[in-house]
């Protein structure tokens, strides 16, 4: 009903809009006062040499973002796999491996099977779930709830940003345990994370502008999403969102991989959505955009003021995000990616909350 949708037209719209609040709640659950209530009591990251992270769909992209965090902040190697592959390829699980499973529902059959596989190999099993009474939660040694509240829209939105938030906290904890982050640096990172809900509120103000671009995007047959570093998995998530609810073919690529194939698709009918906060690699992203423009491609750049200035003229459209710690940008930039997919679906008239052929929770193989 309208009431359940909080006055929004769709659950997805409500779930996108409530992210600043939901994220703030999740943060206050894990963070007390200035410091950090250890999100995972009893977990000591000096006991592990590597991690495997396994999930499906959007949760898998949250894992890929987190890989960048765990590796760069905590210096721990992370392998990420989709559950349907992981469970059958007999991956070796050496001692001192932490196995981490991410699932909104906690009931995804492949993810649960992957968890049981790791348990069979005597790995420590931690899960990041939304539903705390789920099978995956029940079978884990330690459960970290994302506290996103019920997510009704089939396309995951707030669960994704809450998964990222909890995974970032866990990466900070890992970095601290492993002596890579002193108390002062930890505090600075946490302070940056605490800013995200406020920045999301600012980003929400771009909704009308995004709706206008989404209208043109909805006329495309193919769309490319590009990102670098931790924004690469977000490019894949942006493409997934668009596919799921608007049925437009979309691919997410690492910006540097453009020249190794996808550039062959580029012409004036293909929107290329570049999601890039101004970071130390931004000039490389600018040259990727120039390669697209030189072939007549339409670049939609989602960046901050500094990035827009550095990119110069030539973009088809620019959407401005507030400035953010580049490491945390995937959480903030998830919002425009979700809004773009949502408004493209509205323009096409598809069933946003119940897209064809998809299920909220895939409990059978």
Q: Which residues are catalytic?
A: 360
209: left (phi over 0), alpha (psi -120 to 50) or beta: alpha
Of 56 and 274, the one with the shorter C-beta distance to ligand G6P is 56
Q: Which runs of E-coded beta strand occur in the chain? A: 50-55, 77-82, 97-103, 124-129, 142-145, 222-227, 249-254, 271-275, 298-303, 317-320
Q: How far is the CB of 237 from ligand G6P (least distance, A)?
A: 9
Q: In what order do the strands lie in the sheet with 142-145?
A: 77-82, 50-55, 97-103, 124-129, 142-145
Taking CB positions, which residue lies at the least distance from ligand G6P? 57
CB of 105 to ligand G6P, least distance (A): 3
Encoding tokens for residue 59?
């949760």
Least spacing, CB of residue 248 vs ligand G6P, in Å: 17
Q: Yes or no: say if 127 and 101 are a contact pair by the CB < 8 Å rule.
A: yes
Nearer to ligand G6P, 281 or 362 (CB): 362
**For residues 58 and 285, which CB has a smaller minimum distance to ligand G6P in the complex?**
58
Binding residues for ligand G6P, rule: CB under 6 A, are: 56-59, 103-105, 108, 111, 154-156, 358, 360-362
Residue 100 beta carbon to ligand G6P: minimum distance, rounded to whole angstroms: 13
Least CB distance to ligand G6P at residue 146 (A):
10
Residue 65 CB partners (closer than 8 Å, separation 6+): 164, 167, 230, 233, 234, 330
Of the pair 61, 282, the CB lying nearest ligand G6P is at 61
If one counts every other C-beta atom within 10 angstroms of the C-beta of residue 295, the result is: 15
User: Is the Cβ of residue 221 or residue 356 nearer to ligand G6P in the bound state?
Assistant: 356
The residue among 73 and 235 lying less far from ligand G6P, judged by its C-beta, is 235
Q: For residues 80 and 86, give the distance between their C-alpha atoms in angstroms, rounded to a whole number.
A: 9
Phi, psi for 300 (deg, rounded to 5): -100, 110
Residues contacting 82, CB < 8 A, separation 6+ = 54, 55, 56, 60, 110
Edge-to-edge strand order for the sheet containing 222-227? 249-254, 222-227, 271-275, 298-303, 317-320
Min dist CB 267 to ligand G6P, Å, is: 31
Q: How far is the CB of 180 from ligand G6P (least distance, A)?
A: 29
Distance CA 189, CA 202 (A): 20
Distance between CA atoms of residues 243 and 222, nearest Å: 10
269 vs 363 by CB, closer to ligand G6P: 363
Decide if 81 contacts 55 (C-beta within 8 A).
no
Query: How far apart are alpha carbons 58 and 238 in whole angstroms?
Result: 10
For 32, the 3-state DSSP assignment is: coil
């Amino acid at each position: 009903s309208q009431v359940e949708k909080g006055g929004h037209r769709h659950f997805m719209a409500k779930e996108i809009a409530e992210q600043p609040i939901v994220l703030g709640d999740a943060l206050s659950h894990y963070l007390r006062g200035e410091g950090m209530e250890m999100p995972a009591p009893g977990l000591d990251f000096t006991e592990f040499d590597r991690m495997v992270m396994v999930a499906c769909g959007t949760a898998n992209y949250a894992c890929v973002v987190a890989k960048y965090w765990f590796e760069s902040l905590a210096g721990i190697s992370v392998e990420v796999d989709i559950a349907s592959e992981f469970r059958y390829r007999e991956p070796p699980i050496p001692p001192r491996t932490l196995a981490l499973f991410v699932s909104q529902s906690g009931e995804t059959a492949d993810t649960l099977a992957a968890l049981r596989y790791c348990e069979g190999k005597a790995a420590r099993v931690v899960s990041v779930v939304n539903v705390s009474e789920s099978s995956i939660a029940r079978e884990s040694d330690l459960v970290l709830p994302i506290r996103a509240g019920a997510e009704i829209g089939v396309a995951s939105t707030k669960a994704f940003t809450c998964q990222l938030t909890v995974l970032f906290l866990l990466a900070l904890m890992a970095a601290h345990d492993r002596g890579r982050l002193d108390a002062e640096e930890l505090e600075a990172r946490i302070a940056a994370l605490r800013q995200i809900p406020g920045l999301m509120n600012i980003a929400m103000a771009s909704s009308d502008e995004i709706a206008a671009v989404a209208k043109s995007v909805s006329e495309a047959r193919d769309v490319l999403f590009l990102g670098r570093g931790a924004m690469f998995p977000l490019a894949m998530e942006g493409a997934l969102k668009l596919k799921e609810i608007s049925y437009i073919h979309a691919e997410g690529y690492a910006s540097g991989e453009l020249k190794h194939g996808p550039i062959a698709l580029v012409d004036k009918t293909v929107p290329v959505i570049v999601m890039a906060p101004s970071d130390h690699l931004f000039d490389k992203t600018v040259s990727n955009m120039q390669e697209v423009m030189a072939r007549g491609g339409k670049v939609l750049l989602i960046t901050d003021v500094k990035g827009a200035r550095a990119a110069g003229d030539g973009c088809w459209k620019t959407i401005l995000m507030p400035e953010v710690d580049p490491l945390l940008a995937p959480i903030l930039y998830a919002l425009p990616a979700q809004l773009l997919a949502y408004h493209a679906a509205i323009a096409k008239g598809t069933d946003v909350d119940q897209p064809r052929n998809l299920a909220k929770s895939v409990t059978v193989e």
